[in-house]
Amino acid sequence: MGRILRGLAGEGHLRVVAAETGDVVEEARRRHGLSPTATAALGRAMTGALLLAQLLLKTPKERLTLRLEGTGPLGGLLAEADAQGNVRGYVQNPQAEVPLRPDGKLNVGEVLGPGFLRADRSLPSGEVYSGTVPLVSGEIAEDLAHYLWQSEQIPSAVLLGVRVRGEGEVEVAGGVAVQVMPGAPEEVLKRLEANLAGLAGLTPLLKERDLEGALEVLLAGLGFERTDLRALGYPQNEIPARFRCRCSREKALEALVFFTPEEREEMIVKDGGAEVVCHWCGEVYRFSPEEIRTLVAEVRCPDCGALWLYPKADGTSFRIEGDACRCGRRVELPFQGQAQA
């Protein structure tokens, strides 16, 4: 399990969030069968999502999703995190690989390629606030710092690192985000810049000195003061970080309702059932013909067959948004007052 630390430095003028995520990234690598460079890309994005969740989310039920789309062989990736340290993610092409950089490091920028970064902050009400910026380098840390400045007006330094062993297993992974508060004195900024300029990279520090040691080097002369998280319900004074997906067998079965009854019957006849794979975590759910045939209480468009309504097992209902179907027909639902999004 990974961990997240929070604190202040520079006499309160710097807000600091740091994460150690080696176990988290290794689970993602194992679940998705990632190549070394794909592991580094997804590991950096997941770690970055955990850091930004601490900086940007206001309530426990909010979620932050990072989407990086590029023209490189990776195809793109998604990472989703909350403020409780839960994170999940996946890439489009798990086995994508490119040659190492001239300095011998994994070439995340090339495997991702030019493109864009979008960050979505999902509220409990269903509202989503989004910001999109072009990728600066594709190395992800620099791209996240650019996003924080362009979309959130937060001047920040972001460091991310993932190191894999020769066979592909994750050796160490983590990240640090330093947010500059308004009115920070010039001497604080100069000291931070000097410390950053003197770093050879984050992963060597994490390997040699652990997370606390890395913060000592990064924030030397700036008086880092760790936030006491025990008052927030974390007895170890750190937030556990873990790979945790929100999928379930119930949700996987509900996904089959988006197939027509005829298509579901074909699954039964041809395959003897159905198999649903979660993109986020790679979990496989298999369903018998009897389970599939329980999905009968649904309402579809008489013209195009689009799904309009179906009852969920928790007593709520899914219903189409808006008053018109995709084919233009007016949506007419029975018992509309009971339907919930």
**Domain spans, the chain:** 2-243, 249-338
**pLDDT given at position 81:** 98
- Rounded Cα–Cα distance for residues 82 and 51 (Å): 10
Structure confidence at residue 312 as a pLDDT band (50, 70, 90): low
- Rounded Cα–Cα distance for residues 245 and 240 (Å): 15
Tally of CB atoms within 10 A around 171: 15
Place of tokens 């179906």: 310
CA 66 to chain centre: 5
In sequence order, the 6+-apart residues with CB closer than 8 A to the CB of 110 are 72, 98, 101, 138
Nearest to 179 by CA among 148, 203, 213: 148
pLDDT greater than 80 at residue 269: yes
> What value does the mean pLDDT of the chain take?
91
Nearest to 43 by CA among 58, 21, 63: 21
**pLDDT given at position 239:** 97
| DSSP states of 220-245 | TTS--EE--GGGGT-TTSSEEEEE--
Determine what percent of the chain is predicted with pLDDT higher than 90.
74
Report the CATH number of the 249-338 domain. Answer: 3.90.1280.10
Report which of residues 26 and 255 the model is more confident about: 26
Nearest to 86 by CA among 118, 54, 58, 56: 54
pLDDT one-digit tens code per residue, 80-116 = 999 999 999 999 999 999 999 999 899 999 999 999 9
Structure confidence at residue 338 as a pLDDT band (50, 70, 90): very low
- Rounded Cα–Cα distance for residues 202 and 208 (Å): 10
Q: Quick check: 185 and 176 in contact, CB under 8 A? A: no
What helix, strand, coil percent values describe the chain, rounded to 5?
Answer: 30, 30, 40
**pLDDT given at position 161:** 96
pLDDT greater than 60 at residue 337: no
pLDDT greater than 70 at residue 339: no
What is the H or E stretch that residue 5 is in? strand 2-9
Q: Quick check: 38 and 93 in contact, CB under 8 A? A: yes
2-243 is classed in which CATH architecture?
A: 3-Layer(bab) Sandwich (3.55)
**pLDDT given at position 251:** 82
Report which of residues 154 and 45 the model is more confident about: 45
Q: Quick check: 161 and 51 in contact, CB under 8 A? A: no
CA distances in angstroms from 184 to 13, 42, 215, 225, listed in the order given:
5, 33, 19, 16
pLDDT greater than 80 at residue 188: yes
pLDDT greater than 70 at residue 76: yes
- Rounded Cα–Cα distance for residues 322 and 310 (Å): 16
Mean pLDDT is highest, among 199-203, 235-239, 325-329, for: 235-239
Q: Quick check: 177 and 158 in contact, CB under 8 A? A: yes
- Rounded Cα–Cα distance for residues 304 and 330 (Å): 12
Backbone angles phi, psi at 160, to 5 degrees: -135, 145
Q: What is the pTM of this model?
A: 0.86
Backbone angles phi, psi at 174, to 5 degrees: 175, -175
Lookup: tokens for 169: 């297993």
Amino acid at 107: N
Lookup: tokens for 252: 């996987």
Report which of residues 334 and 169 the model is more confident about: 169
Averaged pLDDT, 247-253: 88
pLDDT greater than 70 at residue 334: no
Mean pLDDT is highest, among 126-130, 169-173, 253-257, 320-324, for: 169-173
- b/e string for 172-207 if b means 16 or more Cβ within 10 A? bbbbbbbbbeeebeeebeebbeebeeeeeebbebbb
